[in-house]
Amino acid sequence: MTAAAKSQLSSAASEPHARGVSMHVVRVLVDVVGRAGVSRERMLQAAGLTEAQLSASTCLSFDAAIRSVETLLALTGNPAFGLRWAEQLSIDTFSPSTYLITNAASLGEGIAAMLHYSKLFSEQPQIAAHYDPHEVRLSYRARSGASPLLQRASAELSVFGFLRIVRAFHPTFRPERVCFAYPAPSYRDEYAKLFDCSAEFDQPFTGMSFDRALLATKAPYRDQSMHEALRLLAERRLSSLEQSPQYAARVRDLLVQRRRVGGPAMIDVAAQLGLSVHALRRRLTAEATTFAALEHEAFAVLVKRVLIDEQHSIQEAAYELGFSGTASFHRAFKRALGMTPLAYLHDHAT
């Protein structure tokens, strides 16, 4: 095993086990948004992030990542920013997880590994592969609850990620079809530059398709010992996740079910889980999160529900969530989401 491979394996072993979005991905986004002319201080303040968080080798929960990424995308004012972001991502941006895929014996085995280990990154995997006698279709399903801007950017990133993985085995690969389930955006011509083919919109699925014969393509620079070491590590993590109660997700769900903000929330939630407050805090720390962070995530889910899904006014939403008035609601909203309720409504109207 080469020195570079050992370094990648060491990085994999030290990464947190919790599902979520790698902070490395967020760092790339912050850098790209900065090159678009947005000050770093403004970005971090709006996204509710600190330099310490950004520098850490941790993961953001999906809900926290959605909130941060939506804010950063909105700051650019560029509807095509998902394509710009995708251009900056290399095959090792999601390192070391992609090394397990790209060091498989063949493209077919790499795709199988991608699907199998997707559970490490999401309780509800968003990618799938469909095989017919002549064609393979890799598809992506958008997460609910995100703004149209983020859903589009996530689709662009995911489909370009599929392209990068296939090109790791077949560098001159051109997809037969690249499809998106949403209507063609104003910048549709830019898709051809990124994907090296014309994109189709308003399709039944989001993803790309290619000749099934390519599944037999061998990895050109495979490191078998590295692949096996990463596979064993991934299997241990997967087993650990399947046996773990994942308290963060359960706490977030209970907070959303309360449909109220404030009060003795941690005492109530700990009691519902059959834990002391101290034991709950310790378990959340082991999952690289805090009760306060989960309260912010639950608040974000609730405000979307009352403001967007149920179409309440800001004043109605404040009282619905247990605030004594709109002033305290505005303050809590700004702390949790980094923007005002009016700005939030404007972003979700995109």
Number of CB atoms found within 10 A of residue 313's CB:
13
**Of residues 1, 2, 3, 55, the one with CA closest to residue 24:** 55
* Cis bond upstream, residue 16 (ω within 30): no
Q: Which residues pair with 211 in a beta bridge?
A: 135
**Tokens representing residue 271 in the block:** 């009691």
The percent of the chain in helix, strand and coil, each rounded to the nearest 5, is 60, 10, 30
Whole-angstrom Cα distance, residue 217 to residue 151?
32
- pTM for this structure? 0.65
Q: SS3 of 130, please?
A: strand
Q: Identify the structural domains of the chain with CATH numbers, from first to last.
A: 3-240 (no CATH), 247-347 (1.10.10.60)
Q: How confident is the model at residue 203 (pLDDT cuts 50, 70, 90)?
A: very high
Mean pLDDT of 141-155: 81
Flag the least confident range among 52-61, 286-295, 305-314: 52-61
| Short-list 350, 321, 289, CA closest to 19 | 289
Confidence of residue 142 (pLDDT cuts 50, 70, 90): confident
What is the model's pLDDT at position 73? 82
Q: What percent of the chain has pLDDT over 90?
A: 23
C-alpha to C-alpha distance for 174 and 178, rounded to whole angstroms: 10
Kindly report the length of the chain. Answer: 350
Residue 138, pLDDT score: 96
pLDDT (mean) for 322-334:
87
Residue 54 identity (one-letter amino acid): L
- CB 176: neighbour CB atoms within 10 A? 12
Find the mean pLDDT for residues 291-309: 87
Instruction: Check residue 63 and give its pLDDT.
Output: 64
Write the pLDDT tens digit of every residue in 210-230. 999 999 999 988 888 878 888
CB 237 within 8 A of CB 124: no
- What is the average pLDDT across 8-25? 55
Residue 126: per-residue pLDDT: 84
**232 closest CA partner among 21, 36, 12, 23:** 12
Residue 178 has pLDDT above 70, yes or no: yes
Question: For 23-50, what is the mean pLDDT?
Answer: 83
Asked if 107 and 169 count as a contact pair (C-beta separation under 8 A), the reply is yes
What integer is the mean pLDDT of 165-189? Answer: 94
Residue 323 has pLDDT above 90, yes or no: no
Strand, coil or helix: 122: coil
Cβ proximity of 237 and 17 under 8 Å: yes
pLDDT tens, residue by residue, 117-138: 887 766 556 899 999 999 999 9
The mean-pLDDT minimum among 1-5, 23-27, 125-129, 311-315 falls in 1-5
DSSP collapsed to 3 states, 172-240:
CCCCCEEECCCCCCCCCHHHHHHHCCCEECCCCCEEEEEEHHHHHCECCCCCHHHHHHHHHHHHHHHHH
Cα 172 from Cα 113, distance rounded (Å): 22
Please state the rounded mean pLDDT for residues 203-216. Answer: 96
Task: Tell me the pLDDT band of 28, cut-offs 50, 70 and 90.
Answer: confident
What is the pLDDT averaged over residues 51-74?
A: 74
pLDDT band at 5 (very low <50, low <70, confident <90, very high): very low
Q: Looking at residue 217, what is its pLDDT?
A: 96
- When pLDDT is averaged across residues 166-188 and rounded to a whole number, the result is 94
